[in-house]
Structure 1
Amino acid sequence: MFKYLMILLSLISIDAHAEPIRIASDIWCPYICENETGYVVELTKRAFEIQGQTTVFVTIPYKRALLELQRNNIDAVLALTPGAIADNQLIDAGVVIGYNSNDFYTLIGKDESFETIADLNQTSQAAAVSGYDYGVELDAWLNAHPNTYFASGNDPLAMNIIRLIKGRHSVIVDNKNVIEYTASQLNLSQHLRYAGTIGLPVPLHVGFSQKNQANATIFANGIKMLKANGEYQEIINKYKILPGTTTNKARHKRLQKFLPVINK
């Protein structure tokens, strides 16, 4: 908690004359990655920068980011569904920056498939991320089942993948691109199996507080400019192919103590 407080204080204390746009989110690669990378991070930053507006981006847990947005300690949170926008009374600028789907993964060798909510009744324990919006039906199922595990913190999906391999739960749900990206960073892709998708993809937005209508308008205009000059597609293209086994060393070291002994 002290670490998050120091991050937020640094945002608040930035030179008032610069008035940077304060943006926060948790790690959700390849949408939002460490070291201010990820295509949603890059698009958002460039949308402001192309108009001469500076930005500051910090990584904090998802639920914390939404709370600080309500407190006006930050100006925007990245990659929010329409449900999250509505529930938190935010502004979305009318710009879709990607799509999310509820994709399910099990361990290799399992045979479960998930195409409807009813299919989940056959699983012993599902794992999701605390605070995420999975849609009305799936949210209701996850919250109604006491065995559901909700991960939190800065790297909740990574922890869910690790716990899946350790046998702590039988299936994880998140976005397919994010699961595969994170698994590749942990060198664990060979242990995971895609087991289906429930529901249709939903659009993702950058959520601004009610006091940031002007910044939402600037953001929307910046995205139009990036599409017009070709930068938008260039940024998207950078993240189309999942990386190989070259991992982020700092992240891998931080998670190493949780990894099971594999192929010993």
Structure 2
Amino acid sequence: MTIPARSYHGAQYLLKYLFILLSIFSIHAHAAPVLIASDIWCPYICENKTGYVVDLTRRAFEIQGQDVEFRTIPYKRALIELQRNNIDAVLALTSSVIANNQLLSTDVVMGYNSNDFYTLVGSTESFEQISDLNKTQQAAVVNGYGYGIELDAWFGAHPNTYFASGNDPLAMNIIRLVKGRHSVIIDNKNVIEYTASQLNLTQQLRYAGTIGKPVPLYVGFSQQNKANAITFANGIDMLKANGEYQQIMNKYQILPEVNADEVRHKNLQKFLPIFN
């Protein structure tokens, strides 16, 4: 049986048209930016959309032609939006947070977090084990963060523990510490010292110890974002291979001087009048 030429060419045209449509859809799907969110946790994640975790994550996608959109929202809300698939990923999560929220991650470690304790200069308190907290007046942490099973249990059992929230809760805790609202704050040492420098309060804080061992941090993806998780891991490998990964890490080895980040410093000043 011979297929009429007109029908043959019509089939060819239809296939070509379908191929063009699929290509267009593919391009648009690829062009849609990956939506990534976190609260401020500088120098890891900074307000002006920098910080080494932000830079590495963005470049891991961009090196493969994928755009990224970063949003600053409170940590707890970011996890909720991720579970609702309103965003694609949240930065700097521990493995326990990823498991508890049923998220996806790769084996790419983006840094380490530690539970570091800071008091005011002049205090003699030190913190090496959980029981040391029983001697302090009030501890301040960030709402939604996980500090490990034992510390989380202690905070939950002591109703006077202060849980700060908002886009820059650590800045709030540091200022409250200086104003005498609580006696110790707990967070990552690098983040505390960076934020304190931007508030011009470094000289008033004192490192008082660390409880527990540092834990690795990952990028968490929603269950529907397995493809993005794979793309991210591949991108990190590419950045390591071309040397860009180390360049970004070197850029953030030294904490910025006071006022080095004018945007960060200016935004933090809005907290100060609240406690004057």
User: Do the structures match in fold with TM over 0.5?
Assistant: yes
State the partner residue of 2:74. 61
Cα drift, residue 247 of structure 1: 5.0
Distance 2:260 2:182 in 1: 25
**Partner amino acid, structure 2, of 1:228:** A
Where 2:207 maps in the other structure, the secondary structure is: strand
Aligned equivalents of 1:252, 1:224: Cα separation in 2 = 34
Q: Deviations over 1:183-242 (max 9, x none)?
A: 011111000000000000000000000000010000001001111111111111111111
Q: Distance in 2 between matches of 1:154 and 1:261?
A: 16
| Residue number among 107, 117, 139 corresponding to 1:104 in the alignment | 117
Note the alpha carbon deviations across 1:95-120, whole angstroms, 9 max, x for none: 10000000000000101110000110
RMSD of aligned C-alpha atoms? 1.7
Percent identity over paired residues = 77
Query: Any idea what SS the aligned residue of 1:95 has?
Result: coil
The alignment partner of 2:60 has SS state of helix
Which AA in structure 2 matches 1:54?
D
Deviations 1:143-175, CA, capped at 9 Å, x for gaps: 110110000000000000000000000000000
Instruction: Say whether the 8 Å CA contact 2:48–2:263 is kept in structure 1.
Output: no
- Are the aligned partners of 2:175 and 2:272 in contact in 1 as well (CA < 8 Å)? yes
**Whole-angstrom CA distance in 1 between matches of 2:273 and 2:131:** 31
- Could you tell me which residue of structure 2 aligns to residue 150 of structure 1? 163
Following TM superposition, by how much is the alpha carbon of 1:94 offset from its aligned partner in structure 2, in angstroms? 1.4
Indicate if the aligned counterparts of 1:130 and 1:150 stay in contact, CA closer than 8 A. yes
Aligned twin of 1:21: 34
List, as ranges, runs of 4+ consecutive aligned residues in structure 1 with deviation greater than 6 Å: none
Q: How many residues align?
A: 248
SS in 1 for 2:58: helix
Cα deviation for residue 255 of structure 1 reads 3.8
2:172 aligns to what? Answer: 159
Q: Which one of the candidate residues 173, 191, 198 is aligned to 1:178?
A: 191
Any gaps of 5 or more consecutive residues in structure 1? 1-14
Greater helix fraction, Structure 1 or Structure 2: 2
The separation in 1 between residues aligned to 2:38 and 2:247, in whole angstroms, is: 23
Q: CA deviation at 1:21?
A: 0.6
Q: Which runs of 5+ in 2 are unaligned?
A: 1-27
Q: Which has the larger radius of gyration?
A: 2
Contact 1:186–1:247 (Cα < 8 Å) also in 2: no
Offset at 1:90? 0.5
Residue 80 (structure 1) aligned with residue 93 (structure 2): yes
Residue pair 2:193, 2:202 contacting (<8 A) in 1 also: yes
In the alignment, does 2:108 pair up with 1:91?
A: no
User: Which position in structure 2 is the counterpart of 1:40?
Assistant: 53
Q: Distance in 1 between matches of 2:211 and 2:196?
A: 21
Say which is worse superposed, 158-167 or 87-96, in terms of deviation.
Answer: 87-96
